[in-house]
Chain A
Amino acid sequence: MADRGPPKRRDWSWRSQAFRGLVYQLIAVGAVALGVWYLAQNTLANMAARGIQSGFDFLRTPAGFDIGESLIPYDALDPYWVAFGVGVLNTLRVAVIGVVLATILGTLLGVGRFSRNAILRGLCYAYVEFFRNVPVLLQLLMWYLILTDVLPPLSEAISIAGVLFLSNNGFKFPVPVWGLGQALAGVGGVLGIVLAWAYRRWAMRQFELTGRVRSLVLVPIGIVIAAATAGWIAGGAPTAWSIPRIDGFLTTGGATATPEFLAVLLGLVLYTSAFIAEVVRAGINSVSHGQVEAASSLGLTKGQSMRLVILPQALRVIIPPMTSQYLNLTKNSSLAVAIGYPDVVSIANTSLNQTGRAVECIAIIMAVYLTTSLSTAAFMNWYNKRAAIKER
């Protein structure tokens, strides 16, 4: 026999590692199961003793409370599950806008730390150190106070160019009147993105085949804009805007961002961008200086070496911590409950106080955030894999 390893001992003796492992695992699982069973028993006994009803059937009864802002039509007679849907949409709205703005601001701040201008460098440093060392809840409360207390009332709203109004009632801005033209422009834009993507793939292949460089940024952007404009013109080129107008205490037209929404958004964006700035700085720092020198000795311009050499390598370091910052922002949006922005936690809190079903409401909050976290993590892991070094 050529291949005779040590004999595998699988006997029922304490000396066998496999047996010991099995016993340890049984003990651990048993302890956890026992703990869960004990807690569940107590919970059931407590609920019976206090006369608390359980189950998710309450989701179909009318909610009976109003919600300050909603993306979908809602009134107090709608059932609880619609109210929760409104809350989830509000959470996602602030999270998505927040992630986009925080990424832009954070990247600018992170790159600003490498500026050749000392004042700019210093300001970026001071910003990062200040905003990340103050609790985000405190920042939210402060922004809310400023937006509702320091800003003038609606009748004396600060007006910018006569179309934007800032008051303690929120921020009012004009929106285009929705019509066929806008819808067609949207369709055209989507079509343009597909075309631009196809063009980019074709250009990349041509480059690999012939070495001829084609524009990979301007032409795709041009295609998207041209397609959107074509759709807009095909719809009759509508130019009607709904402009906010203030008559005493009433406003008509336009759209409003409430102070609650603005406070949550400002607080989250300013706080998270400080962390993103550090992530970006660490990423750029991680690319060795030799790479930059090699790029410039090959004749790449500063912009080219940033785009083609530094960023692709920095991105690998940036993506994982960036993912956790996005998740942090989403989770921190739950603090909106403190200033009354109707996010999912706030809705759950109200429902909990009305129905007394603590277990169910908290379970809904946790399920919503777990789903968001896990799907974001899955998406970013997929993107990370794409950006990672292809190794054999």
Chain B
Amino acid sequence: MAVVFQPIAPRPAPVKTEGLVPWVRANLFGDWKSSIATLAILALGIYYLPGFFGWAVANAVLTQDANLCQQARGVGACWAVVGEKFRLIVFGRYPYEQQWRPELATLILLALLVASCIRRFWKPWLALVWIVVVPAFFVLMGGGWFGLESVPTDQWGGLPLTIMLATFGIVLAYPLAIVVALGRRSKLPAIRSLCIVYIELVRGVPLISVLFMASFMFPLFLPVGKSPDVLLRVLVGITLFSAAYLAEVVRGGLQAIPKGQIEAAESLGLSYWQTQRKIVLPQALAMVVPGIMNSFIAIFKDTSLVTIVSLYELTGALGLALNSDADWRPFKIEGYLFITMIYFAFCFAMSRYSLWIEKQLNVSRTR
């Protein structure tokens, strides 16, 4: 019998697990439930998206003409309102010929904020720069010095006010928060209870009640005849409010420092303040940067509340720009969408940074 060589059939190639088709199969049509969900969402999208696209883009009016907008009402968006009222929405009632001042001041503030987010600049001199920039901002905005025309604070408004309230609210609250957080972990019962009462009292009430207090009660607190500026009062209110939240964030960092380090410092003969300054705080404060960032985002969003006590930051400035103008008032929703995008851009960028820095700071602990 002659043995004839019979090649066996080659094995089929393994099922592809990479590439578009397998991804779609696994992620969109994994099982029957997933397939139904995919098809249902696609159907809804096909049904509704063209209408939305038509309203937002295809039929939208960009020419700054209230009559054209009025004709397109219900069919197309009137983005022209943003162009028409841009100055009023973004800068509030600040005098037009002086507008370079809020622009410059806000740019400086933003630049310093960005610099403060970079780890290389986390040095003691950064605090000094802040101490210089905070008054400089007020001088530039308020004027009255160096030949700058004086602009009362009730004319400040828009995005510069939003950024200012959020930034100063956090920056001024930061030292207070550290003191209160240390106090809450103090061994001295009287100091500890004072700090606990402060933190829990403030965290138990809404910001709006603090703002009401700032606008109605702070004037009563000062000696007869003296009434500080409303912006200053609100700033004090926001600072006291955010300090309580920030103190809890800082306390989280303090608690994460192993007790052995403090004991080691004590056995080396360091005093309480030396221990805190040289051992505990440098580690704890670096650890809580993501938490501080989250507080900053929260305060940035919460600044929109000051419109209730008639300060015209971004949300208030929009009402200011549109409520009194019968021609453009019907297109408030487009204005709202515009400032929604501004808020979203800021907050989303900050939350991404917070996630990124968290990973950076934990790099020694991940493997």
Residues of chain A whose beta carbon lies under 8 Å from any beta carbon of chain B: 21, 24-26, 28-29, 32, 39, 42-43, 45-47, 49, 115-120, 123, 129-130, 132-138, 141-142, 145-146, 149-150, 331-332, 334-335, 337-338, 345, 349, 352, 358-359, 362, 365-366, 369-370, 373-374
Residues from chain B with a CB closer than 8 A to the CB of A135 are 301-302, 304, 315, 343
Which residues from B are CB-within-8-Å of A39?
Answer: 221
Q: How many angstroms from the CA of A370 to the CA of B216 in the assembled complex?
A: 20
- Using CB atoms, name the residue of chain A closest to B203: A373
| Residue from B28, B31, B42 whose CB has the most chain A CB atoms within 10 Å | B28
- B39: shortest Cβ distance to chain A, in Å? 10
User: B209's contact among A141, A145, A366, by CB below 8 Å, is which?
Assistant: A366
Q: Do A133 and B351 touch (CB < 8 A)?
A: yes
Task: Give the contacting residue for A42; candidates B34, B191, B203, B221; CB below 8 A.
Answer: B221
A119 with B209: in contact, given A129-B348, A135-B343, A141-B315 (CB under 8 Å)?
A: no
Q: Does B187 contact A (CB under 8 A)?
A: yes
Q: Is the CB of B333 within 8 A of A146?
A: yes
CB of A43, distance to nearest CB on chain B (Å): 5
Contacts A25-B190, A42-B220 aside, 18 further interface pairs with beta carbons under 8 A come to: A28-B194, A45-B223, A117-B27, A117-B37, A119-B38, A133-B344, A135-B315, A137-B307, A138-B336, A142-B333, A331-B205, A331-B206, A345-B209, A358-B216, A358-B217, A359-B220, A369-B204, A370-B201
Instruction: Give every chain B residue within 8 A of A335 (Cβ-Cβ).
Output: 206, 208, 305
Tell me if B232 is interfacial: C-beta within 8 Å of chain A.
Answer: no
State whether A334 touches B333 (Cβ < 8 A). Answer: no
On whether the beta carbons of B205 and A366 are closer than 8 Å, the reply is: yes
Task: Give the total number of A-B pairs whose CB atoms are below 8 A apart.
Answer: 150
B41 partner residues in chain A, CB cutoff 8 A: 119-120, 123
Docked CA distance A300–B57 (Å) = 52
Pairwise interchain contact A138-B220, C-beta atoms closer than 8 A: no
Per-position contact with A for B10-37: 1 when CB-CB < 8 Å, else 0?
0000000000000000111011001001
Query: Is there an interface contact between B206 and A369, defined as CB atoms closer than 8 Å?
Result: yes
Task: Find the A residue at minimum CB distance from B192.
Answer: A25
Most buried by A among B209, B216, B224: B209
Contact status A150-B333, CB under 8 Å:
yes
The B interface, classified by DSSP as helix, strand, loop or mixed, is: helix
The proximity string for B residues 299-313 relative to A, scoring 1 for CB distances below 8 Å and 0 otherwise, is: 001101101100000
Q: Is the CB of B343 within 8 A of A338?
A: no
Contacts of B223 in A (CB 8 A): 42, 45
> Which of A43, A46, A132, A337 sits near B208, CB closer than 8 Å?
A337
The answer on a CB contact under 8 Å between A137 and B304 is yes
- List A contacts of B225 (CB < 8 A): 49
| Contact A25-B191, Cβ < 8 Å, known A337-B308, A349-B212, A373-B204 | yes
Complex partner residue of A334 from B26, B42, B209, CB under 8 angstroms: B209
Shortest Cβ-Cβ A-B pairs, 6 listed: A118-B27, A133-B347, A358-B216, A25-B190, A331-B206, A373-B204
> Which B197-217 residues sit within 8 Å CB-CB of chain A?
200-201, 203-209, 212-213, 216-217
**Contact residues, B281-329 vs A (CB, 8 A):** 297, 301-302, 304-305, 307-308, 315
